[in-house]
Amino acid sequence: MEPSGQVSPDASGGQFSPWRIIRLDAPSMDELIARAGRACARAGELIDRSDSLRFSAGGGCRLAIVARGVDDLAAKLSLAAGCAGTSRASTLARKDIFLGRPASPPGEIAFLFPGQGSQYPGMLRELVDEFPPAAEALRRIDAVLGRLGIPAFEQFAGVGSRVLGRDVWLTPLSMLCAGTVIYYSLEALGIRPDVVAGHSFGEFAALLAAGAWDFENAVLATRARCRAVEACRDVAGQMLSIAAPGPVVEQFCRELGGRLYPAVYSSPNQTTVGGDGPSIERLQQRLTAERIASRVIPVPRPFHTPLMEPVRGPLAEGLRSIILRRPVVPMLGGAANGPLVDPEEIRTNLVVQMIHPIRYVELVEQLTARGVRAMVEVGPRQILTRLHRKTLAGRDVLAIGADDRSRPGLSRLLAVEASLDVLGLLDKRRSWPTVDPFGPAGS
């Protein structure tokens, strides 16, 4: 068949945006290249039919292109035909051109939610403008915030925001809201996870996607966390991100003494340390002497270290009244990188992860071991995606983010859909129920 018969139903909804996904397939790469070349002259037809055509079932080679209009599609088809099957094929994804083969077995999709540090003023503005499900999610978010006496999302996270990264309450709240909007939008596209997890505070949004609590209780839990942190004003310190492996950083901490603790093992060559001011200063001097790059992370406390022990009691008390349910989608918790099943386990994990280090490299390895084939970052920017690529280097696991500050909006969400589809990860039905973040927890 010619390419016009090889496209999948496009959940993006053509009425929402000029962006489209065009999908072509063929039994072999050579045939797919030839098909893409012939399709250049039929770009207009493919654009018109993008909502109703689909990939062929089964194996073969697949090509999915996110395009804005006929000229853009024709140019990308020509580029795909010229690069597919060559060493330049690896560059195509940067232009939203995706090549792949369905895996057998297909593997799982993991949703990973980033923590503080990924936020930026004006995040998700284009997505909300272009995609009605994103606008609906934000409307429902603002309704909950208003009911709780909290300003609307745009008031503290809009383009002119000066509080993100500084305000101990509104910064994590902005991340919870952003993760919820993107998660809701991915669900609207029919993209659902087999397993979820979060990086540090990202666990709050991950619990939402797991169905363990609803958005209102997630907001209340965020406020409880922030109040517990603010109540412990005697806990002072800094966090330092270091471009070095965990064992190297651990050795520095032992040699320098003082109050230095590995806090986050982010990737094989990136480790974060927490400590009091004088200890961090000594560590910076040592790193400079060793010519190892580092940067201070703008957070109010040395999270994920024993210095946060005074937070344990206030946070446990604050979480006591939060309504939690057993997750309906499997979730791995960051404190022990194990499954979270019982509500009391979840409460304990949220407290313990404030005091114990986050071993994110181990989490990524566990997800890979259980058969995850794609790790989708559900939040602003792509900080986790870069960490995933470092950890997964050389392995056949897709790492992709659902937001790109340099190319924001619906096109990035469609890039996620296209990349998953060429791998066959959207061919199967997910076994877990759809989670409504604004419905009762566990619904």
pLDDT band at 185 (very low <50, low <70, confident <90, very high): very high
Average pLDDT over residues 12-36: 84
Least-confidence region, from 175-184, 255-264, 295-304, 344-353: 295-304
The structure tokens 């696991």 sit at 397
| DSSP E strands, 27-107 | 61-68, 97-100
Q: Where in the chain is the domain with CATH 3.30.70.250?
A: 238-297
Please state the φ and ψ torsions of residue 298, each to the nearest 5 degrees.
-75, 80
Listed range (176-185, 196-205, 229-238, 396-405) with the worst mean pLDDT:
229-238
Give dist(CA 136, CA 140) in Å, integer.
Answer: 6
pLDDT tens digits for range 61-72: 999 999 999 999
Percent of the chain residues topping a pLDDT of 70: 95
- Residue 154 CB neighbour total at 10 angstroms: 15
Q: Is the pLDDT of residue 14 over 50?
A: no
265: region left, alpha or beta (phi > 0 left; psi from -120 to 50 alpha): beta
The CATH topology of domain 238-297 is Alpha-Beta Plaits (3.30.70)
Indicate whether 11 pLDDT > 50. no
- Predicted confidence at residue 441, as pLDDT, reads 57
The pTM score is 0.93
Q: pLDDT grade, residue 2 (50/70/90)?
A: very low
Q: What percent of the chain has pLDDT over 90?
A: 81
Cα 368 to Cα 192, 285, 315, 355, 361: the distances in Å are 17, 37, 32, 26, 11
The set of residues, in sequence order, having a beta carbon less than 8 Å from that of 113 and lying 6+ positions away, is 179, 196, 197, 198, 199, 202, 203, 204, 205, 206, 209, 377, 378, 379
- Listing DSSP states for 207-271 in one string gives HHHTTSS-HHHHHHHHHHHHHHHHH-TT---EEEEESS-HHHHHHHHHHH-SSEEEEEEEETTEE
Average pLDDT over residues 163-187: 95
> What is the mean pLDDT of the segment spanning 2-31?
66
For residue 214, pLDDT beyond 50: yes
Burial class (CB in 10 A: 0-12, 13-18, 19+), 415: buried
Residues facing residue 99 across a β-bridge: 63
Q: What is the pLDDT of residue 16?
A: 54
In the chain, list all ranges with CATH 3.30.70.3290. 3-101
Q: What is 3-101's CATH number, 3.40.50.300, 3.40.50.2300, 3.30.70.3290, 2.40.110.10?
A: 3.30.70.3290
Name the CATH architecture for the domain at 109-233+306-422: 3-Layer(aba) Sandwich (3.40)
Question: In whole angstroms, what is the distance from residue 75 CA to residue 417 CA?
Answer: 21
41 vs 54, more confident: 41
